[in-house]
Structure 1
Amino acid sequence: MSIFSQRSYQKEIMDDLEYSGPVLEQTLRELKTINRWLGGNQVTTNGLDRLVRDFPQSSYSICDVGCGGGDMLRVMHNWAKSRKLQVKLTGVDANPNTIELAKKRLADLDGIDWEVQNVFSEEFQKGKTDMLTCTLFTHHFTDEELVTLFRSFRKKAKLGIIINDLHRNPVAYYSIRFLTRLFSKSPMVQHDGPLSVLRAFSKKDWERILALADIKNYRISWHWAFRWQVSILV
């Protein structure tokens, strides 16, 4: 059986929520560069553009789940500024060390809230947000966990959910394997980069998981470089 025929559930180093220190900092720096070079950030802002167009409001709240080092929060801050939108941003991550790094990296930006939370907890569902985003986050979970997670997301988001994650594909796998070995100085990136592709999704995976979560109002689109955008209206 091909390694691409179904999702891998092998754990990544980043799944260790107590991970911290120089390796984590190097990893977050390299992930920022990778996402910028390969255009992955635009997958999220493209989805937000559509939600803003479909649901015009005077202001919006956006919760970025699995925010990591805060790179997407900065991207969304700049996106909102360029469109003259009033936006309240919140970054959520289960790793307190990551949140502390994100606070330092985005110290020049005002008005970002930070929450250390387990997204499977009841506490996470209590606060509402207009839009919920997650980037390179969903592949860390099993199909069964994602069904639970998406049901939780629907309770938290008022307007919509934008998911930005990888396409499980041989070209994507061997490309990131080559690039990380050639350019990366982070053992975590070298290990987790190719593995994240094996843990990622085909379109049929998305359709199956969304059906199990009783989600019908969605749109799946493919973007360069080997990214899926899943837009869910709630």
Structure 2
Amino acid sequence: MSPDLSARAVDARELMDDPEADQRMLERTYLRFELVNRVVSRPGALYRRDIRPRARQRPLRILDVGSGGGDLCRGLAVRLRRDRLDADITALDADGRATRWAQAHDGGAGVRYRCALTAELVRDGEVFDVVLSNHLLHHLEPGELQQLLRETRQLVGEGGVVVHGDIARSRTAYALFAASTLPFSRNLLAGSFIRADGLTSIRRSYSPRELVAVAPPGWLVRRRLPARIELRWDAADA
């Protein structure tokens, strides 16, 4: 039976967010994130649209908020190196389990890993050219979301951009994820939280209309494929 997707399932909780989550399953989840995000999140599009054009003008400072296992940052580092472009990349996560695992699996990418909140970076006076997040918005309570948007806006410098990407809640997104992950649930994704938490994530996620309703002035909501939603602040638009 399909769940009710007419409204956000704000009381649903992802298993990997539990402080007592099984460590082996958690690490296997971090390991498989790269494969899943490559298909679902399409980081190559983000790189071509928002990062590479800026990196061609000057060396960049990039911040990934809620970076989890760090796969997005490592992938960006590989693309930048391939194109002979320079950037300092920081992977920020408030969960020390994620930060420790990501740092241990950097693989020579040269990403900086930091266990902290965006508020700490604001207090330190940090400034970045590109601030981004992936699958973070749906985790946050209303007040936390507004704080994230306010602080990530404060962290981006002149000519910079903030891009928060997430899944757009819909019956289609839920059905596609359920069907596409089912064949791998007993092999590739076995022993991880990816399938269960992915379905919970969709139930907790915003629809485009809901995100427009809570976005502060100056922020734009855009639909992306497949079943993606993006909340962005761009200095050029502002």
Range class of TM-score, shorter chain: 0.7 to 0.9
Q: 1:81 to 1:165 in 2, by over 3 A?
A: same
Tell me the equivalent position of 1:186.
191
Moved more, 218-227 or 202-211: 218-227
Q: Which structure 2 residues correspond to residues 129-148 of structure 1 after superposition, within 5 A? A: 129-148=128-147
Tell me the equivalent position of 1:30.
32
Q: Which amino acid aligns with 1:152?
A: E
Q: Which structure 2 residues correspond to residues 54-203 of structure 1 after superposition, within 5 A? A: 57-110=57-110, 112-119=111-118, 122-125=119-122, 126=124, 127-158=126-157, 159-183=160-184, 184-203=189-208
- For the 8 Å contact 1:44–1:163, the answer to whether it is kept is no
Tell me the equivalent position of 2:228.
227
CA shift, 1:27, in A, is 0.9
Structure 2: which 5+ runs fail to align? Answer: none
Partner secondary structure for residue 193 of structure 2 = helix
Q: Which amino acid aligns with 1:169?
A: S
Partner secondary structure for residue 205 of structure 2 = coil
- For the 8 Å contact 1:160–1:232, the answer to whether it is kept is yes
Runs ≥4 in structure 1, deviation > 4 angstroms? 17-20
* C-alpha distance in structure 1 between counterparts of 2:33 and 2:39, whole Å: 10
CA shift, 1:170, in A, is 0.4
Q: 1:58 to 1:219 in 2, by over 3 A?
A: same
Moved more, 26-35 or 159-168: 26-35
Q: 1:145 to 1:38 in 2, by over 3 A?
A: closer
Moved more, 149-158 or 100-109: 100-109
Q: 1:23 to 1:41 in 2, by over 3 A?
A: same
CA shift, 1:66, in A, is 0.8
Q: Deviation per CA, 1:117-141, whole angstroms, max 9, x where unpaired? A: 133xx31312222211101111111
Q: Deviation per CA, 1:176-222, whole angstroms, max 9, x where unpaired? A: 223334313135223211010111121112211213xxx31x44332
Q: 1:128 to 1:226 in 2, by over 3 A?
A: same
Q: 1:3 to 1:57 in 2, by over 3 A?
A: same
Q: 1:17 to 1:113 in 2, by over 3 A?
A: farther
Structure-1-length-normalised TM-score: 0.85
Which of 210, 215, 234 is equivalent to 1:205? 210
* C-alpha distance in structure 1 between counterparts of 2:22 and 2:94, whole Å: 13
Count the aligned residue pairs: 224
CA shift, 1:50, in A, is 7.6
* C-alpha distance in structure 2 between counterparts of 1:18 and 1:91, whole Å: 23
Which of the pair has the greater relative contact order for Cα pairs under 8 Å at 6+ separation? 1
Q: Which amino acid aligns with 1:27?
A: T
Partner secondary structure for residue 163 of structure 1 = strand
